[in-house]
Amino acid sequence: MAAAVPMVELWRGGRLESAHAGHAVVCDASGGIVAAWGDPSLQIYPRSSCKMLQALPLVESGAAGGLDAPELALACASHQGAAMHTGRVARWLAALGLGEADLRCGAHEPADRAARDALIRAGREPCQLHNNCSGKHAGFLTLARHLQAGPEYVDPDHPVQRAVRAAFEDMTGAPSPGWGIDGCSAPNFATTLAGLARAMARIAAARADGDARARAAVRLREAMVAHPELVAGEGRACTELMRAMAGRVALKTGAEGVYVAIWPGRGLGLALKIADGATRAAEAAVVALLAHLGALDPAHPAALRRLDAVQRNWRGLETGVLRAAPGFPGPGLHRRPAVSA
């Protein structure tokens, strides 16, 4: 098993203050590893980075026939609970004859400041619509309705989750070694980093004239790049970086330092895991890798906010810089043919 490689450093006062190591894999649609840093066989939980895979059964089953692109983007989203997110999810549920109480994701405070302040002023508590996964869960409920299945759709043995696992394993290319419960109460199926990158490459290479799964993959990736503000939110890395690449690449973050990218123009999928789970390092590393691959201009303001990023304190004084570790990304370790997932 290869060790994690140094990826991101924080410097303050001319001294190295923090360092983040990780693993990354780039795959093509054949499953071949184009380049790798660290250990491609590392088993991980993809967390929210795999929401596109969790949404595949929703679309390929025909259950999403009445959904538009914004709703499909929300099915793939880790949104911040702004009005544009919660309002659409509420209307989606209402169209099903359902409501917030039918969700099983739990409630948390919205990350969107305006939404949070509005709740405080109104003396209201956040509800499940504010959960960053409420769009994914609306998708689960839509599929459950289509399958005429029961309301406890997050149960690992529920038909919805059995369909999700089947799609996940097919796209990653191997049986999942197990699952854990995610923050939104749904099962999160483990895979290798190479398996996750392979799944993203298969989404990238999918064609609108392909089979039902391929057509579903195309609808989901196109919804993401058409509505980046729904996938995350204003000021968020996924949203800003997708805009910076003018819709050429779909991006999705996951908790504990996971990031994925889907590049249809090249038929490539990228998966990244920061060993210590730091989000800031995952964002910086994915910027470095996308720039290295030629997908992202490293001088774009959205890139510079996350890599070669000057750190400032509350008085506006420059305190340090977040930058790539020496030699990263470099060429990476080229690996062909595909390794086992």
The whole-number pLDDT of residue 29 equals 85
Instruction: Give 6-23 pLDDT, tens digit per residue.
Output: 999 999 999 999 999 999
pLDDT at 334: 55
Name every residue whose Cβ is closer than 8 Å to that of residue 10 and which is 6 or more positions away in sequence.
16, 17, 18, 19, 311, 320, 321, 322
Per-residue pLDDT tens over the stretch 27-63? 998 989 999 999 999 999 999 999 999 999 999 999 9
Q: For the residues 95-119, what does the mean pLDDT come to?
A: 97
Q: What is the pTM of this model?
A: 0.95
The DSSP element (H or E) to which 258 belongs, if any, is strand 258-263
Arithmetic mean of pLDDT over the chain: 96
Average pLDDT over residues 127-135: 98
Residues 6 or more apart whose Cβ sits within 8 Å of residue 204: 29, 221, 262, 263, 264, 266, 267, 268, 269
Domains of the chain as residue ranges with CATH = 5-324 (3.40.710)
Q: Please report the pLDDT score of residue 339 as a whole number.
A: 38
d(CA 175, CA 341): 8
Q: What is the pLDDT of residues 284-334, one digit of tens each?
A: 999 999 999 999 999 999 999 999 999 999 999 999 999 999 999 987 765
Write down the pLDDT at residue 335: 47
Q: What residues have CB less than 8 Å from 300, skipping those under 6 apart?
A: 244
Using left for φ > 0, alpha for ψ between -120 and 50, and beta otherwise, residue 62 falls in: left
In the predicted model, what is the mean pLDDT of residues 94-112? 98
Q: Measured between alpha carbons, how far is 296 from 290 in angstroms, rounded to an integer?
A: 5
Identify whether the C-beta of residue 65 lies closer than 8 Å to the C-beta of residue 71. no
Burial of 201 (0-12, 13-18, 19+ CB in 10 A): buried
SS3 184: coil
